[in-house]
């Protein structure tokens, strides 16, 4: 038995999320089906993060166990062949130790959220950016985001169905970046932590959008955090602007 790490990119729009579900298309099921064409058996791959319905990835990581040894490049090419025409691609592959785990070996995860302020409908970026029509103040958004950095009880910013045993998390980065464009006012919101709660990033973004629009003041984010009450959260952003962009490991298998 040989274990392989897969770095995966996908458009989340056609899928009900990463995790395999009954009678619903998922990224996990699609990759497992491709693997079955190469190694006829039941596959159960593990991923670094279970993205929700509609969420994209440019740096998801999963691992699989195969009955025979493969050259990593040939394996990635074979998987991609059997994934066509689905919007999923293995962009890197590496042989790893038998005890290496895509989820439990990870030391950080990074998300990118794309938020566009413009009046005209989106065309090229449609389905990959959250569009709002009101102007946004990125400086105010950053001031609000700064209240969330560090180790906190994030009950306010996690879904009520979140199954994590504790709401305590350490947020290492929440940075608002203005991206030059002639098509509108584009913001990239960079978020980094060892692990996240269910809907935590989208809850952050929806709340910060309220700050950027002037509906909230930056200090209102601190009040919402301290409330430790889901009802104090701003609206949750839609999934289609969110990307799992990177998973970090002490020894990067793709280096």
Token digits for 84? 């066509």
Residue 96 CB-half CA count within 13 A: 25
Alpha carbon separation from 210 to 25, 59, 134, 169 (Å, rounded): 33, 28, 10, 23
Catalytic residue status for 52: yes
Residue 182: the pLDDT is 85
Smallest CA-to-CA distance from 132 within 174, 175, 189 is with 189
End-to-end CA distance of the chain: 23
Token pair in block for residue 164: 């994590």
89 to 33, 77, 82, 131, 199: CA distances (angstroms): 14, 9, 10, 26, 25
Catalytic residue among 39, 42, 52, 153: 52
Q: Rounded to an integer, what distance in angstroms lies between the CA atom of residue 221 and that of residue 226?
A: 9
pLDDT of residue 218: 98
pLDDT attached to residue 221: 98
pLDDT in tens, 27-45: 999 999 999 999 999 999 9
Q: Is the pTM of this model over 0.85?
A: yes
Both tokens assigned to 112: 């990118």
| Cα torsion 25, 31, 33, 34: sign | positive
Q: Three-state DSSP class for 212? A: helix
Class of the CATH domain delimited by 2-104: alpha beta
The DSSP string of 61-104 is EEEEEESS---HHHHHHHHHHHHTTSSEEEEEEEEE-TT--TTT
Q: What are phi and psi of 214, to 5 degrees?
A: 95, -5
**Domains 2-104 and 108-246 are alike in CATH topology:** yes
| Domain edges within the chain | 2-104, 108-246
Q: What is the pLDDT of residue 183?
A: 84
Per-residue pLDDT of the chain (255 residues; tens, 9 = 90+): 899 999 999 999 999 999 999 899 999 999 999 999 999 999 999 999 999 999 999 999 999 999 999 999 999 999 999 999 999 999 999 999 999 999 999 999 999 999 999 999 999 999 999 999 999 999 999 999 999 999 999 999 999 999 999 999 999 999 999 999 988 899 999 999 999 999 999 999 999 999 999 999 999 999 999 999 999 999 999 999 999 999 999 999 999
Q: Which two tokens stand for residue 70?
A: 């493969």
Q: Which pLDDT score is estimated for 104?
A: 97
Report the CATH fold assignment for 108-246.
Alpha-Beta Plaits (3.30.70)
């Amino acid at each position: 038995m040989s274990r392989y790490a897969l770095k995966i990119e996908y458009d989340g729009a056609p899928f009900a999320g990463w995790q395999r579900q009954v009678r619903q298309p998922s990224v996990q099921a699609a990759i497992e089906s491709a693997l079955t064409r190469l190694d006829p058996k039941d596959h159960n791959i593990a991923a670094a993060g279970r993205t929700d319905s509609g969420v994209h990835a440019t740096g998801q990581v999963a691992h699989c166990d195969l009955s025979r040894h493969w050259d990593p490049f040939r394996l990635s090419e074979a998987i991609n062949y059997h994934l066509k025409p689905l919007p999923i691609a293995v962009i890197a592959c590496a042989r790893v130790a038998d005890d290496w785990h895509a989820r439990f070996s990870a030391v950080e995860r990074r998300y990118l959220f794309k938020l566009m302020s413009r009046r005209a409908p989106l065309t090229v970026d449609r389905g990959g950016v959250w569009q709002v029509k009101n102007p946004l103040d990125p400086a105010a958004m950053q001031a609000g985001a700064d209240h969330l950095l560090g180790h906190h009880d994030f009950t306010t910013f996690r879904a009520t169905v979140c199954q994590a045993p504790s709401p305590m998390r350490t947020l290492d980065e929440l940075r608002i970046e203005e991206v030059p464009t002639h098509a509108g006012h584009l913001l990239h919101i960079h978020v980094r932590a060892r692990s996240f709660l269910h809907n935590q990033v989208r809850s952050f973004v929806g709340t910060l959008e309220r700050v950027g629009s002037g509906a909230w003041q930056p200090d209102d984010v601190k009040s919402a955090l301290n409330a430790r009450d889901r009802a104090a959260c701003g609206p949750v952003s839609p999934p289609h602007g969110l990307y799992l962009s990177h998973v970090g490991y002490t020894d990067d298998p793709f280096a």
